[in-house]
Structures are given as structure tokens and as C-alpha cells.
Amino acid sequence: MHVEVGKENSTSINLYYEDHGSGQPVVLIHGYPLSSASWEKQVPVLLNAGYRVIAYDRRGFGKSSQPTTGYNYDTFAEDLRKLITHLRLRDFVLVGFSMGGGEVARYVGKYGSKDVSKAVIIDGVPPHLIKTADDPEGLDASVFEGIEKAVAADRYAFFTEFFKNFYNTDVNLGKRVSEEAMRASWNTAAIASATASLACVPTWYEDFRADVAKIDVPTLVIHGDADRIVPFALGGQRTAKMIPGAELVVIKDGPHNVAWTHADEVNSALVTFLAKPSAKATPKKKAAA
């Protein structure tokens, strides 16, 4: 299925999404440079647990349109908002991996938490990755400049090296990730928009600190402590501290894409968290006297 989220000249910009099952809606937001198909180890588990599972492709990726505009988090959040409005979702859960964690934060920061039941951020880019005067812990800007140059020069070669650190293949290849799964990830990245592949890199160091501070729903933060893309100390550790009452699950030896390499641990944490009563649940009516 597709939902139109805008236009570029005479061409509609459509997001591809899949909508399965019934029950409380759980919206899955993928990471760079993959697609909604990257959730294949989570979808059946969530469906079996009784949830309605909605997964979509970010603009520029997977089966969604590939415009040359809109690669910024305000637009990404607006795209998500249009999908949610189209499906008339209520009491839904937002689950974001990597870049998807940015959508979760910006969505709440921009639109508030009305109708949002819970939030989950897995190895997400929030709260802030780049070193600035008011955030000296971040990565140097040259790191991202180097990535942009590599993507612009030969994105296919870049993806090959990127996925080695995405899955920590020196440790996990042949154990927690296969050559074939790596190839599938590369193939997904290769069909993404060349524009999106490059334009998304600067969005990784978006400042989400104000957005994260506005998250006021039960939140689960999952992060691998061996993440080479978004270091735990910069990502999950800080995000969890900024959200009152947030639960933090650290995946030992987990690389960036723990949802694949450590799927059992991630799924267990996810299903356990989703099953807990939400603070936003509607109070039960008092029985008649």
C-alpha cells in the first residue's frame, strides 16, 4: 500500500507501507540505508503477541518514492504524521531504529504525544552526535564530512564498508549474520535513491535534545554496547538519561543492527515492554453501584 505525502513538481511522493494484524498499533521505522523489510525478525513476533504491525519505507528508500527533496527530520516527521493520520491510528507505539529513532524524537517534539502510547528507540541517532560548543562529547564534524565524501564518490563501495561496521562482521560474520544477509542489506541500500543516500548523512547529527526532553510517554531504549555507528555513550546512554523513567536495555557485544544480530534479546525486551500497562491507558469505568 502507498500513502501520498507530497509532490515534487508533477510527481506524487508516496510512502510504501505494510499493515498487518490487529490489536494495538506498533509503527516500525527503519534505519539507513535499509527499508521496512529490515524488521523481518520483529514483525512475526509482534504479530504473534497480538499487535497490529505497520512498517513503512522512508522517502528515498525501499519501495517509496525517490524525490530529490525533503531529506530533513521535520519532513520525515511530517511524513510519519501523514501515514498515522491516513491510517487513523490511536494509542499507537512508535519504534525507531537508528535514523528511525530520530523520527520518534522529532515526531513527539513537533506534534506532542497525543495518541502516542509508548516509544522505543533502538541504537538511535538521538540525542546529538556532533561535537559543538555546548556538547563537547560529540563526534568531530570531519567524521561526517568523510562519510559524505565517500558516499558521493562511490556509494556502492561505501555501503560495503559501512555494513562491516553495521554488523561488526569481524566478530559476527558466520555467527550472528551471514554473508547472504549482508548481501541482502547491500542490495537494499543499492536500490535506494542516490540523492537520499547522500542527503541523509547530515541528518545523523541533527540536534534532538529538545525533542527528547519532550518525550513524556513510557520509553524503552535499546542499544548495543559495541555499536560502531552510533556509540552507546553518545546515543542510548544519553537518551535514556534524558527521558524520565526510561528503561534502558544494553545488548552485550551488540553491534549497530542488534535487531538482526541479537533479535531474540531485542524481541524479548520489546514484547515485555509493550505488555506493560501504559500510563496513557484509559482508566477503567467504575462499576455501577
DSSP 227-288: -SSS-TTTTHHHHHHHSTT-EEEEETT--S-HHHHTHHHHHHHHHHHHHSPPTTSPPPPPPP
CA distances from 180 to 86, 198, 263 (A): 36, 25, 17
Preceding peptide of 33 cis, ω within 30°: yes
* Residue 212, pLDDT score: 98
**Each residue's pLDDT tens digit in the chain (289 positions)?**
999 999 999 999 999 999 999 999 999 999 999 999 999 999 999 999 999 999 999 999 999 999 999 999 999 999 999 999 999 999 999 999 999 999 999 999 999 999 999 999 999 999 999 999 999 999 999 999 999 999 999 999 999 999 999 999 999 999 999 999 999 999 999 999 999 999 999 999 999 999 999 999 999 999 999 999 999 999 999 999 999 999 999 999 999 999 999 999 999 999 999 999 875 444 444 444 3
* Residue 269, pLDDT score: 98
Catalytic residue among 30, 128, 223, 256: 256
Mark whether 227 is an active-site residue.
Answer: yes
The answer to whether 17 and 59 are in contact (CB under 8 A) is no
Catalytic residue among 65, 98, 117, 193: 98
3-class SS of residue 163? helix
Residues 6+ apart with CB under 8 A from 33: 61, 159, 162, 188, 189, 192, 197, 200
Question: CA–CA separation, 281 vs 118, rounded Å?
Answer: 10
* Residue 51, pLDDT score: 98
Catalytic residue among 57, 123, 211, 227: 227
Angle, alpha carbons 173-175-176 (nearest 5°)? 85
Mark whether 98 is an active-site residue.
Answer: yes
DSSP 167-194: HTHHHHBTTTB-HHHHHHHHHHHHTS-H
The pTM of this model reads 0.95
Beta pairing partners, 249: 222
* Residue 218: DSSP 8-state: -
Kindly list the domain boundaries of the chain, sorted by start residue. 2-275
How is domain 2-275 classified at the CATH fold level? Rossmann fold (3.40.50)
The answer to whether 126 and 239 are in contact (CB under 8 A) is yes
**Grid coordinates representing 177?**
549474520
* Residue 286, pLDDT score: 44
Mark whether 256 is an active-site residue.
Answer: yes
Residues 6+ apart with CB under 8 A from 271: 45, 46, 49
* Residue 284, pLDDT score: 41
* Residue 279, pLDDT score: 58
